[in-house]
Chain A
Amino acid sequence: MLKMFIESLKNLVSEPETIKYPFEPSPEPKGYRGTIHYNEELCIFCDKCENICPPGAIKFVVVDYETGKKEYNYNPYLCIYCGACVRECPKADEGCLVQVETRTPPLGRSVPKGKELGYFINRIDNPKEVESKWREIEELNIKTKEEYKAYKKAKRAQKAAAKAKGEE
């Protein structure tokens, strides 16, 4: 007991082990797994990140069936920051998907903005809408993919028909 008493007295003069977080900043340690950043110019739209993502925080939505253009939607408030998408990305070395070492700010009165966060979060201004809008994205993801598939199939059939006609 005496030993513990001495040890406790030492604590009065030793350096604190904790930081006064809300008053002082709490910096991320080196190598921290933070936000996922995306570069659309490098993306080849292989959908590998969407397929691996355990919580489904990355969703592609086809916006133009004619050209097959897809939009990358990322929900940083659903993301579990495991980094599986970055490991899966074939263009990760070039910087298509990168996990940076800074945290996503907590969802308070404003929504974080930035081109590297994808389309979803940049189109929202009210933080309360994140959840409902994400549900819409999830539905759109399934719907547009099916429609795009049907469109491509129809186009192939059209082509084949045209070809058959041409041969006649």
Chain B
Amino acid sequence: MGKIVVPFGSQHVALPEPISFLFDTENEIITKVEAHIGYVHRGIEKAAITRFEYNQLPYLTARVCGLCSITHAGAVVHGIEKLMDIEVNKRIDYLRMLVVELDRIHSHMLANGHVAEVVGYENLFMQTFRAREDVMDVLERITGNRVQYDYQTIGGVARDIDLETAEFAKKKLKKLKENVLKVMEFHDSDYTFGLKTKGVGVISKEMAAKYNTAGPIARASGLETDVRAEFDYLPFEEVGYKMQTRKEGDVWARNMVRFDEVLNSIEMCENILDNLPQGEHQVKVKGRPKGETVVRVEAPRGECFYYLKASGKKVMDRVRIRVPTYANIPILKELFLGAKYSDAQAIVLSFDPCMSCTAR
């Protein structure tokens, strides 16, 4: 049979966000891929250096993406604090760490649920999302909103956490842990789920290093890279951070790495809530940002990189955002070659792609 071109996206039932692939297929096997990623380009980098002042940037970059709004706001806040020479206290660090880890939990649960959905296991998808709801409640209670958290501000966090909220969070996290273990068991041992995910879209460790893969995708292949261990921005080691890796490198392993990280994050959140240091939730801020710096933070999907340059004016000179999905697109493209078209959906979703981050 001859060559057939199959479009995948930009609107597709399996895709949560607009990305388009054009697959050249022979029988079922994909032989050539063309990717288009710019559907949701909003010019945020341009807006950040023209329309918005430095103290409005955390609110702007939080809107790069709905799922990792905490990551983007956090990254820009760390960078601007470096440029303004602001040292924050321990309590602020811990509160920031708390929301960062809660964010990771809900993003990972969403990704795992989506994978279950596209391999045709609607029921597991529902169960995963049901468990996820608890962490959304905790985040809503702590920050005051369900999606747009706007929690990190320059020189602190938007609001302090009171005893009642801490108790509420602890109770919810306990329930969440039980639910996660239950759902993880289904992902781990379910026969039909395994048929669609084990051995599909395998990335070897060498391949992961060659294509500079980031985040859970790299760690599922055994490549030990995690910005939380490679860049000092928050004291993760103090609250029990451990790097999670798996060796298989397939869709299933990527899901399991995410579950391992969810469990690790729950443990970290509990430690943070038990050992919150005393102090103010805001420090005094003076001056304007000057100089250049790079910021690396670990978003749920992998390394999020910021380059910031300022020259003492209200508006920054350059804000460069490089997000984890951006780093993972080259390997995604390689991975399709030789794969079956029917597996393409599971492969894409196992990468947890975020196109609004990538296109910015």
Contacts and interface: CB of A to CB of B under 8 A. Distances in A.
Nearest to A53: B56
Given A1-B191, A1-B192, A3-B185, A80 B123 contact: no
Interface string B135-177: 0010011111100101001000011000001000000000000
Interface in B108-145: 123-124, 127, 130, 133, 137, 140-145
Interface in A7-64: 7-8, 17, 29-33, 51-52, 54
A84 B186 contact: no
B52 interface: yes
B55 interface: yes
Nearest to B129: A17
Contacts of A81: 145, 148
A87 interface: yes
Contact of B144 (A1, A7, A17, A31): A31
Interface in B35-72: 52-53, 55-56, 59-60, 63
Given A1-B191, A82-B148, A17 B158 contact: no
A164 interface: no
B28 interface: no
B52 A3 contact: no
A83 B144 contact: yes
Contacts of A84: 56, 59, 150, 153
A1 B137 CA distance: 30
A7 B159 CA distance: 39
Contact of A54 (B56, B140, B159, B165): B56
14 contacts: A17-B133, A30-B141, A30-B165, A31-B165, A32-B140, A33-B143, A33-B144, A54-B59, A80-B59, A80-B150, A82-B148, A83-B158, A84-B56, A84-B150
B190 interface: yes
Chain A interface residue number, banded: 20 to 34
Nearest to A86: B158
A54 B60 contact: yes
Given A31-B159, A52-B56, A82-B59, 16 more contacts: A1-B191, A4-B127, A4-B190, A7-B127, A7-B182, A8-B123, A17-B133, A31-B141, A31-B142, A32-B144, A33-B150, A54-B59, A80-B63, A84-B56, A84-B59, A84-B153
Interface of B is mostly: helix
Interface of A: 1, 3-4, 7-8, 17, 29-33, 51-52, 54, 80-84, 87
A51 B123 CA distance: 49
A82 B151 CA distance: 9
B158 A54 contact: no
B153 A87 contact: yes
A81 B123 CA distance: 35
Interface in B218-253: none
Contacts of A4: 123-124, 127, 186, 190
A4 B133 CA distance: 19
